[in-house]
Structure 1
């Protein structure tokens, strides 16, 4: 017996919308373009196109890239639940953190290492801050 795994297919429109939202959040978090590209695993040209709000374009992203976008959106949602003020919602990812996991580094530094484990572990540490508010 064989098991066939089907990857979730996303439309190019869904990819564009998700990518633009994630890029917008990363910019508000003060991520450099290099950090954003590593976090989302996209090219510099795709990042530049995603920032051009009025440009008509389409992009296909794989499930890894869409999962990275999901982590960015979920981290943002957790920060919005934890903090009442925009300065902390958008500033926290760029702040040095002395938690054992971060060890004086910023969440952006950890996430921009580019591997999925660093992104997931950053999400997990931030998600814990919200407690059981979901």
Structure 2
């Protein structure tokens, strides 16, 4: 009985710990360093970086960047960490979907006809300034990783379906 009660309470406790200041303080510097590296790879302007991060003041952004590069201590708020997490997920999904980083970045910058993008490049949605924009692109790419939405790539086009004789039972 007591174990069942503990298991029921555990998810709530884990959520509290996940957003605890000590955990955010631990995650903030490496998260921002990784964000800065991805922003460099994607060729984001300072304005775009600010929009992705939820539009902190320029002085705050530069302070964070300096502290992150110097492995200093600072604590980002939950919204900013969530935004960075979405960027990391987008970057990871692009790495899974495209063997060449440049092709993934080109996909971000190219207008897309999927209804969710409305003919805009996905990067426009990412840099719209809203957490929802980031999550929209993240969810789209997660779906693509699962085989939804995306047109076949070169590997798919060269795939030869298996025949019954190819299946071996032992």
What's the TM-score, normalizing by structure 2? Answer: 0.66
Q: 2:49 matched to which residue of 1?
A: 36
Q: 2:156 matched to which residue of 1?
A: none
* Pairs aligned (count): 130
Q: Which runs of 5 or more structure 1 residues have no equivalent in the other structure? A: none
Shift in Å, 1:125: 1.1
Q: Which runs of 5 or more structure 2 residues have no equivalent in the other structure? A: 1-11, 148-170
Q: Which has the higher helix share?
A: 2
Pair 131,11 (structure 1): closer, same or farther in 2 beyond 3 Å: closer
Shift in Å, 1:87: 1.0
Bigger shift: 107-116 or 3-12? 3-12
Q: Find 1:96's aligned residue among 111, 125, 148.
A: 111
Higher relative contact order (CA 8 A, sep 6+): 1
Separation in structure 2 between the aligned mates of residue 100 and residue 11 of structure 1, nearest angstrom: 35
Indicate the RMSD between aligned Cα atoms, in angstroms.
Answer: 2.4
User: Do the aligned residues in 2 keep the contact of 1:31 with 1:108 (CA within 8 Å)?
Assistant: no
What's the TM-score, normalizing by structure 1? Answer: 0.81
Q: 1:129 matched to which residue of 2?
A: 144
User: Do the aligned residues in 1 keep the contact of 2:29 with 2:71 (CA within 8 Å)?
Assistant: no
Shift in Å, 1:51: 4.7
Query: If you compute each CA radius of gyration, which structure gives the higher value, 1 or 2?
Result: 2
Q: Find 1:70's aligned residue among 74, 85, 90.
A: 85
